[in-house]
Amino acid sequence: MIVVTGGAGFIGSAIVWKLNEEGIDDIVIVDNLGTSDKWKNLVGRRYVDYVHKDRFAEMINADTVPFEADGVIHMGACSSTTERDVDYLMENNFHYSCNVARWALKKNIRFIYASSAATYGDGTQGFSDDDATSRTLKPINMYGYSKQLFDLWVLRNGLESQVAGLKFFNVFGPNEYHKGDMRSVIHKSCGEIGDTGRVRLFKSHRAGYGDGEQQRDFVYVKDCVEVVRWLYHHRDVNGIFNVGTGQARSWNDLVKAVFTAMGKEPIIEYIDMPESIRNQYQYFTEAGMDKLRAAGYGEVFHSLEEAITDYVTNYLLTTDHHM
């Protein structure tokens, strides 16, 4: 039995898809569906039960979990980088993660969890996932800080040799439609191109970067879940790892690939970046991938163009956007 927390969310539901592809359906999904459209990510997926995240926490605390799990893939969290309720993030992202990890380790259950590249803050300390750097990072939003707190908890308790944490960079792909403003620019720009024929990107407000030339490490969700699958089957591989392509690409590259996938000529309009985000805007992110590669992971990641072509043509331009 595998527990996938956040299993109806973007990366979580993609993990369930990957497990189903392997013929694994002994899965318990833990999430908080509420009135959202996340339930649509579960249509067509095979799993044995759904448990509300609060009920799962009660089961853990009372030691009444009614099944024996082989693995916990903990993707559940508030992933909004603009969330302002700090107490909520402390409870939902940090304390909840500690409780699930304690339970998994006590029961000798494989524990894989989502950290985030948001822990790297403004990027001035680089993007190395070595433990020494992880201890000194200074996130610039509360979401990143909540993820950093859990990484520090893992390191402080010497658990990096027993669990696997994943610092996901800019993930995009199917099943993200419900994320509102947190959707990828690929998802947003596909709709914008369909509606207006053009895409708007932020101007650069920093010397050395042209308009739209700010760079990110964009990584396809299918590559992310392949890393999770590999780690689940390699229980001797532990630590906190970056998950990106290891190659930064510009926003211009990204939207041009969307135009190409849609069979349209690129029309890009550059607009001023809001004053409210200029001081904390990241102009460059790029995952250092040596640690994961040294651990034995050898799969090749999709190029940005390959991934966008697959995403746009096989999902965004079809009637069913789901995996």
Which residues are known catalytic residues? 143, 179
Distances (CA, A) of 175 to 9, 39, 161, 184: 7, 10, 32, 11
Strand runs labelled E in the chain: 2-5, 27-31, 49-52, 71-74, 110-116, 164-168, 170-172, 199-202, 215-216, 218-220, 239-243, 249-250, 268-271
CB environment 133-169: b (16+ within 10 A), e (fewer): bbeebebbbbbbbbbbbbbeebbeeebbebbbbbbbb
Q: How big is the chain, counted in residues?
A: 323
**What is the CB neighbour count within 10 angstroms for residue 268?**
16
DSSP letter assigned to residue 276? H
| 201 φ/ψ angles, rounded to the nearest 5 degrees | -125, 160
What 3 state SS string does 70-105 have? CEEEECCCCCCCCCCCHHHHHHHHHHHHHHHHHHHH
Beta-carbon count within 10 A of 77 CB: 24
Residue 210 gets which letter from DSSP? -
